């Protein structure tokens, strides 16, 4: 029988669909364009930052970057960076960091952030607070009109001693915003999640806007038992947002 298949037009190519993971990688690669040889670099933590660390490792191996010193923001990132052969140090040795690249859970229109779903907020805040330039990399799902507005939790690192008491105090601080405080637990065994600094994390969920962020920050930090919170106010110098329609670079 004669074949007619050659006259059937081939189907149009499938639409290009970028997964969230692809967007994370696009933002990360863009941020690594800011990296120059000789820099002391803060290495972030999480599923977006890991692409930046990977890329930095690749460029070092290819000889396109030289004399980089990485400052990892978590034990996990430390392991990844070591496996890639990135030379590492800390902010005791290098108290001035040229550039840090890290992800975020929420970014508001003023480039204030919520961080810490990965649980590394304390080291991140110490290291990113020591940076000349702090580049945040996100996919567009992380953009929010106000912090606490994504229905994700705002993490607060607390000491384990009488954590219920501290969680209660935190919840009461924000009772006008309908705050609910929950201890973060491990998915596999339900045990408390323990940070790299041997602390616990309380997740704060809000029903309403928490209002002035600086006063919220002050009142959280005044509570004995609190170590640090996940609001990164006025710290990001650049936010790179990868979306379906391309990359947007927002500068402070
Ligand atoms: C870890 C963080 C992460 O940067 C933040 O949670 C974003 O993570 P991801 O890129 O996986 O969405 O603050 O403490």
Q: What does the DSSP assignment read for 114-167?
A: E--TTS-HHHHHHHHTTEEEEEEEEEGGGB-SSTTTTSSPEEEEE-STTHHHHH
pLDDT per residue as tens digits for the range 89-139: 999 999 999 999 999 999 999 999 999 999 999 999 999 999 999 999 999
pLDDT digits (tens, 9 = 90+) for 5-64: 567 888 887 767 899 999 999 999 999 999 999 999 999 999 999 999 999 999 999 999
Residues near 47 by beta carbon (within 8 Å), at least 6 away in sequence: 21, 24, 103
Residue 119 Cα: closest atom of ligand 1: 14
> Could you report the per-residue pLDDT of 163-216, keeping only the tens digit for each?
999 999 999 999 999 999 999 999 999 999 999 999 999 999 999 889 999 999
First to last CA, the chain: 69
Mutate to test the pocket of ligand 1, among 23, 100, 104 (most ligand atoms within 8 A of CB): 104
Is the Cβ atom of 112 under 6 angstroms away from ligand 1?
no
Distant-in-sequence, close-in-space partners of 147: CB < 8 Å, separation ≥ 6: 106, 108, 112, 113, 114, 154, 210, 213, 231
Residue 231 Cα to ligand 1 middle (Å) = 13
Using an 8 Å Cβ cutoff, are 36 and 133 in contact?
no
How many CA atoms are closer than 13 Å to the CA of 115, on its beta-carbon side? 30
For ligand 1, is residue 111 a contact (CB within 6 Å)? no
Q: What is the pTM of this model?
A: 0.93
Is the predicted ipTM greater than 0.85, yes or no? Answer: yes
């Amino acid at each position: 029988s004669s074949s007619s298949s050659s006259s059937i037009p081939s189907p149009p190519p499938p639409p290009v669909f970028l997964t969230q993971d692809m967007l994370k990688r696009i933002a990360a690669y863009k941020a690594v364009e800011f990296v120059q040889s000789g820099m002391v670099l803060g290495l972030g933590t999480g599923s977006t930052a890991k692409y930046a660390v990977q890329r930095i490792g690749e460029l070092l191996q290819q000889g396109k970057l030289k004399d980089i010193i990485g400052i990892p923001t978590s034990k996990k990132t430390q392991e990844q960076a070591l496996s890639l052969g990135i030379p590492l140090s800390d902010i005791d040795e290098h108290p001035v960091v040229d550039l840090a690249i890290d992800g975020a859970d929420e970014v508001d229109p003023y480039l204030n952030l919520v961080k810490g779903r990965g649980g590394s907020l304390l080291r991140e805040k110490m290291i990113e607070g020591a940076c000349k330039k702090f580049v945040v990399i996100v996919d567009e799902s992380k953009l929010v009109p106000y912090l606490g507005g994504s229905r994700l939790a705002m993490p607060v690192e607390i000491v384990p001693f009488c954590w219920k008491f501290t969680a209660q105090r935190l919840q009461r601080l924000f009772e006008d915003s309908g705050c609910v405080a929950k201890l973060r637990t491990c998915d596999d065994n339900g045990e408390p999640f323990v940070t790299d600094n041997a602390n616990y994390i309380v997740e704060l969920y809000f029903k309403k806007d928490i209002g002035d962020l600086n006063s919220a920050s002050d009142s959280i930090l005044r509570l004995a038992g609190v170590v640090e919170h996940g609001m990164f106010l006025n710290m990001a110098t650049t936010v790179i947002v990868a979306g379906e329609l391309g990359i947007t670079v927002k500068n402070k």
